[in-house]
């Protein structure tokens, strides 16, 4: 449930954005980000890297939306949001704290947390998510460079890698857990 709550602000954002509700999408996603972090705190856990990054992105978007032309923002917001999510995941890798590790620690006994195998598995899973978000960002970019691309095709290109990453995470986690 934890990772679903982390992605909820993004899902809400993208759904509202598809209806052309840019400012509403930003504010609702910002509120959902705050709620997700508050739920972590109430459960006695620290906020996750992805949750903090998500909150930061939607704060920046709210500020930007207050000062820039809505037409410009509408044109670029999907690409900027996907690139932001991709960047959050990449930063988590570069600082040596792949974002998936915080979720894995909630279901893996503490004695495994320091093992090279546990860390490796989380890097693999996080790199897969990074690749999915790169594909998602590329799909958003296609709209800017190939405006005639079919909207359905664009959504398929955007959603399939995310679904594949989720499926891979479940499969790989189970495979690693069987050892």
pLDDT tens-place string over residues 132-150: 999 999 888 887 788 777 7
Diameter of the chain measured on Cα atoms: 54
Pairs from 1-6 (Cβ < 8 Å, separation ≥ 24): 2/48, 2/103, 2/106, 3/103, 5/36, 5/39, 6/36, 6/48, 6/50, 6/51, 6/54, 6/103
How many residues would you count in the chain? 179
- Those residues with Cβ within 8 angstroms of residue 25's Cβ, 6 or more apart along the chain or in another chain: 12, 13, 14, 15, 16, 17
Residue 71, number of CB atoms within 10 A of its CB? 9
Per-10-residue mean pLDDT of the chain, 179 residues long, equals 81 91 96 94 93 98 95 92 97 96 91 93 97 92 78 76 93 75
pLDDT at 147: 74
Domain coverage including residue 12: 2-177
pLDDT tens-place string over residues 89-113: 999 999 999 999 999 998 889 999 9
pLDDT at 90: 98
pLDDT at 6: 85
Quote the pTM value.
0.91
pLDDT at 1: 52
What's the mean per-residue pLDDT of the chain?
Answer: 90
Count of structural domains, the chain: 1
């Amino acid at each position: 449930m934890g990772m679903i709550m982390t992605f909820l602000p993004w899902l809400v954002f993208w759904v509202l954005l598809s209806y052309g509700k840019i400012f509403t999408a930003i504010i609702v996603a910002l509120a959902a980000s705050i709620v997700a972090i508050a739920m972590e705190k109430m459960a006695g856990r620290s906020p996750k890297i992805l949750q903090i990054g998500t909150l930061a992105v939607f704060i920046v978007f709210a500020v930007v939306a207050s000062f820039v032309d809505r037409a410009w923002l509408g044109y670029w917001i999907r690409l900027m949001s996907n690139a932001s999510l991709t960047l959050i995941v990449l930063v988590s890798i570069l600082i040596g704290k792949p974002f998936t590790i915080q979720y894995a620690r909630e279901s893996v006994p503490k004695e495994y947390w320091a093992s090279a195998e546990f860390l490796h598995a989380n890097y693999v899973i996080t790199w897969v998510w990074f690749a999915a978000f790169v594909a998602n960002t590329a799909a958003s970019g296609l709209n800017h460079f190939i405006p005639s691309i079919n909207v359905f095709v664009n959504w398929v290109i955007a959603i399939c890698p995310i679904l594949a990453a989720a499926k891979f995470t479940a499969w790989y986690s189970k495979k690693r857990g069987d050892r």
